[in-house]
Structure 1
């Protein structure tokens, strides 16, 4: 139960603060981009929609991995409790090796559950970073296009690049926190 509560804190409660911070930063940057050029904001909205939908794709595997960890942890602790309650019997019949083999098997199952969860988290992070790079590149190219046509000033490229780093970084954080 303690492990489940710790997992709940790390995976859900800590994420709420990160989501709020990233959402505020996202709103401020989007407002700034809209003041430069409305088409920049449209591009941001399109990429934002894609990046916010991404965790939904991996939601089921992440939930299954978390449930597997919880179940494996519960089974491991129950096995320990069952065997340790009969420690005197273990000593009397010298079945310590059987005890260790069962404990090791449950520990391997728990470790495997953690590995699967980490794999699902890494897949989500990889996809988020790919969309982050795509969005950052697209907004930079669109800004360069407007600068080349004389519709925006050249100095705006650096500002938009900085804004897009904050913007897509915030989107990536929100998507990861939601995942």
Structure 2
């Protein structure tokens, strides 16, 4: 990821902690909630790995291909079996966004210092708009007076109130990653 090293390491920490929490949450979930937690763990840990500041580790181009392959497989998994709601659609968009970031970063892996790779402006803008709306919507849902009555029933586990906060954190991290393209 391009940008200051401090913000990169903060993203690594935030996404890594979120991904680790989602892994722990998987143990106390079953069915769709477990599948959702697993998808969120993959996204969080993958975003943490991709956010490592490029100044600290000049990653070879094959690493970006590996990221694109892993998240391409996650996108295919989100399509199979048939989509089951908005959360499934969000995982599909998130996986495809990670593929896009990996492809853009791969194309810029050999770029000269000061000339980072740029993505397709229309696609980047569309993803930025999607994640801006997602973050605002997720943030509003954290306010108890506005949250839907059955909102907490969506996630089973020992600490369901943390799952929406994790989703908000990952949405913010994706927004930050897309801003650096």
Shared fold (TM-score greater than 0.5)? Answer: no
Query: What is the TM-score normalised by the length of structure 2?
Result: 0.38
Higher helix share: 1
Q: Which has the higher contact order (CA 8 A, sep 6+)?
A: 1
